[in-house]
Structures are given as structure tokens and as C-alpha cells.
Amino acid sequence: MHKLFSTISIFLLALFTTTLNVEAQLQGNYPPLDTPPPPVASWTALVDQTKLPNAPIRPPGTPCPPTDEFCVWSCTTCTRPDIDFSFCPNKGDWALTYDDGPTNNTLKVLDALNARGLKATFFAIGSRVVESPQILKQVVDAGHQVGVHTWSHTALTSQTTEEVIAEIKWTEMAIKQAVGLTPKWFRAPQGDMDDRVRGILKQLGYRIAFWNHDTNDWMSNSDPTFDLNWIPANFTIWVQNTTATTGFASLEHDAFNKSSSMAESAMDIVLKANFKPQSVSVCTGDKPYVENVTLLPSNINGQNSTSTGTSTAEQNNVSTSTVTETSAKQSPKNNASSTEQNLFLGIVCGLAMLMTYLRFN
């Protein structure tokens, strides 16, 4: 009996451990994390470089030119309306956006959003997706939007065209493998954007997301003088703008513990002021992904415009099932984020270990 109990315990441990390991990894060989990834010839060939504006590469620390010939957002906040987004077009809408995840801190933001029936947009770093694909899948399954935020979080105007393409496509591939969806929205690290980078993104089928309200909450991760109360204080000031003829878009970060802890307060301030938080895709009416996916708007107080009297939880389930069903259709058969496949592989590996143990004991 003792031997049988030990055998079962070993089997269960093997099953649990193997399943977790499969769940936490993407398949294939990805570049080193947090460093500019290598260009891939087939991806580079997707962009006709002869059609790109001849904006110069700007190494870090390069001063801004006296005349902004190439619409450098990080110098002058210049935008191109045909591809750039900075705020929701409709008065009263508020795009909640979070950068630099997915991390364990994303879960705090996700819980706060889901508890309020709110939808948001998460711009993911490819290196973080490789580390935590299961967290990104939770974001998508809850009906939130996911966009690309580069692989290494490097200033794009400092990179060659081949390097910029690699930053985008490696991240796109990781997201597609993690959740089965291909994003159509992109955000540049530090908002570092010019017409050359815009031309690359446009040829790759992306729209670019900026913001018009910046919390600067990322400073809380490295600056001990940063006061977290500045975050809700800024939101309190921003919501008092009742004369604006358009909506807004705020920038926060889900990568850091301190800043993520303030996301909940910010949401409540926006809600109390009767704004309607949404994902970027919903507030613009543009597609979130290449695949045929429709994201639902926020379900504030159970009053979702698509609601037929169902509860908040039920509406969220509808949103989840809509995205999950499409994800399943679009996911490759070897998608490592599939719970069913992970469980199957865990059982197979566990049985193999069990048979080996019984053979030699």
C-alpha cells in the first residue's frame, strides 16, 4: 500500500510539474530576451524600403532637429491622422491602455478591470510574452485588446529598418502563438516615432497608438521620490475637463508593482466622472486583430449597449467566448497556450514516468 501511494504521488507530481512547464513556454526558438532581435529576411522583404521616407536614424541622445521634417512624435508630438491614434474620437469615451506586460502585476490590473466590467488595451513586449504567455491569454480571454510594444523596448528611430521590422514581427509571432491572434495595433516605446517607422508599420498593416494623458507611472519603478498619489491626482484633474469635444486616452504600465497598484483607483475616478472606459479598438471602431474578432465594449453597471438584460458576469462570458472561439480557430495545432494540449502532454509524460518507476521498483 505504501508503495502504491508513493507511486501515485510521483505520478501526480510529474503530471503537475510537466503541465506547468508546458503552459509556461512558447514553442520554437526565440531570440534572447530584452535585446534587439535578429532580422529575418522573409520579414524584411514584406516592406518596400524604396517607399519609406528618408528620415535619418537618431542614436539615443540625439537632439531634436530645429525643424520637424519627419513628424517625430518624441520631439514635437506630431501625428499623422491616417495612421496615428491619440484619443478616443467620441466625447465621454476613455481608452485605458497599459504598457510593458504581461507580468504578474498584469493580474492585479486585470482583476480590477474585470470586477468593474471594463475593457482595456494592453501593449505587450515580446520578451514578456515569451516569459508569461499564460497571463496574456487571460487578458485576451477576458475580452481585452492586445497590441504590439516591440521585442526589446528599444527606441525605434535609433534602429535600422531591418531592426524595426524584427522588433515588430518577433513580438507579433509570440503573441500569435500565445493567444492565436495577430494584432493590428502598435505602440512605440517612449512614443519614439517618425515617418520612416510609420511607413514600416503602415506596410505591415498596423495602426499606431499614442495617448493624450500620461501618468508617468513608470518612474515609480526607479525613482524613490516618485509619489504614487500623483497618479490618482492627475486623473482627478483630467476628468474635470468637461469642455473637450473628444474623448481621451491614458497611459499606464502593468509591468511594475507600485504603478499597477494604482490602476484600480484611476479606474474608479474615471467611472465616477461618468466617462466610459474602453479598449482602443472599441473607442475607434477599428479592428483589433487580423482575424475576424469583434471585441465588446465595457459593461458598466450591466448596461452594455449589446446587453439584453444579462448580468455583468454573463456579458463578460459572452465576450470571453467570442474571443476564445475565434482564437481556437486561428491557433496553430501546436499552440503551447492550449490548456487541452498542455494537459494531454502532462498526462503522457506523467504516465511515462510512472511506467518507468514501476518497471524498476
Radius of gyration of the CA atoms of the chain, in A: 22
> Has residue 94 been placed in a domain?
yes
> Has residue 306 been placed in a domain?
no
> Has residue 150 been placed in a domain?
yes
| Range of lowest pLDDT (149-158, 252-261, 335-344) | 335-344
Alpha helix locations (H) across the chain?
2-23, 41-44, 73-76, 104-116, 126-131, 133-141, 161-179, 195-203, 230-238, 257-260, 263-272, 280-284, 312-330, 339-359
> Has residue 33 been placed in a domain?
no
Catalytic residue among 213, 217, 253, 254: 253
DSSP category for residue 218: G
Q: For residue 68, indicate whether it is catalytic.
A: no
Residue 323 — pLDDT band, cuts 50, 70, 90? very low
Written as nine digits, the cell of 67 is: 525643424
* Residue 351 pLDDT: 53
- The CATH number given to whatever domain includes residue 230 is 3.20.20.370
For the segment 32-81, what is each residue's pLDDT rounded down to a tens digit?
Answer: 999 999 999 999 999 999 999 999 999 999 999 999 999 999 999 999 99
d(CA 246, CA 187): 21
> Has residue 52 been placed in a domain?
no
For the segment 302-318, what is each residue's pLDDT rounded down to a tens digit?
Answer: 655 433 333 333 333 33
> Has residue 289 been placed in a domain?
yes
Catalytic residue among 93, 99, 192, 217: 99
Count of domains in the chain? 1
* Residue 183 pLDDT: 98
Three-state secondary structure call for residue 289: strand
* Residue 224 pLDDT: 84
> Has residue 119 been placed in a domain?
yes
pLDDT score of 1 more than 90: no
Cα torsion 326, 328, 333, 339: sign = positive
DSSP category for residue 183: B
Identify the domain containing residue 269 by its residue range: 84-300
For the segment 205-253, what is each residue's pLDDT rounded down to a tens digit?
Answer: 999 999 999 998 888 877 888 888 899 999 999 999 989 999 999 999 9
Q: For residue 34, indicate whether it is catalytic.
A: no
For the segment 81-128, what is each residue's pLDDT rounded down to a tens digit?
Answer: 999 999 999 999 999 999 999 999 999 999 999 999 999 999 999 999
> Has residue 252 been placed in a domain?
yes
